[in-house]
């Protein structure tokens, strides 16, 4: 079975500071990993995905994540937080079939303060 664990249900950073949202995965097969963002009363938007190509993945809005097999981690980072980054972030894992269901973590709410 596959699963992801997101450490920290709430993270608060100052505007301009580094954003680091943690995700660790558990999978018996090489996983595909995703980060999604959810703004209030909206659906999920894909930020980036890892599908066994480059281990450092760049996404939208300046976010990136690095797949580290030795640490079973896929942490999300952004060098400089912006007020508009305040949202809920979900890490997810899927199998490698072309239409596999996603298993999500419990989410991390990012707060950005002035």
Residues forming contacts to other proteins in the complex (CB under 8 A) are: 32, 36, 41-46, 49, 51, 90, 92, 94, 98-107
How far apart are CB 6 and other proteins at their closest, in Å? 8
* Beta carbon nearer to other proteins, 73 or 103: 103
How far apart are CB 16 and other proteins at their closest, in Å? 29
Of all helices (H) and strands (E), which one includes residue 45?
A: strand 44-50
6-24 burial, b if ≥16 CB within 10 A, otherwise e? beeeebebeeeeebebbbb
| 60 φ/ψ angles, rounded to the nearest 5 degrees | -85, 165
How far apart are CB 108 and other proteins at their closest, in Å? 10
């Amino acid at each position: 079975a596959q699963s992801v664990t997101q450490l920290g249900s709430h993270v608060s950073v100052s505007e301009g500071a580094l954003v680091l949202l943690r995700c660790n995965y558990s999978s018996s097969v090489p996983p595909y990993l995703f980060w999604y963002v959810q703004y209030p009363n909206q659906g999920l938007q894909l930020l980036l995905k890892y599908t066994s190509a480059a281990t450092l993945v760049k996404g939208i809005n300046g976010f990136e994540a690095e797949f580290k097999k030795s640490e079973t981690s896929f942490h999300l980072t952004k060098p400089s937080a912006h007020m508009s980054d305040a949202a809920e972030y979900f890490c997810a894992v899927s199998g490698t079939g072309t239409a596999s269901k996603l298993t999500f973590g419990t989410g991390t709410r990012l707060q950005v303060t002035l």
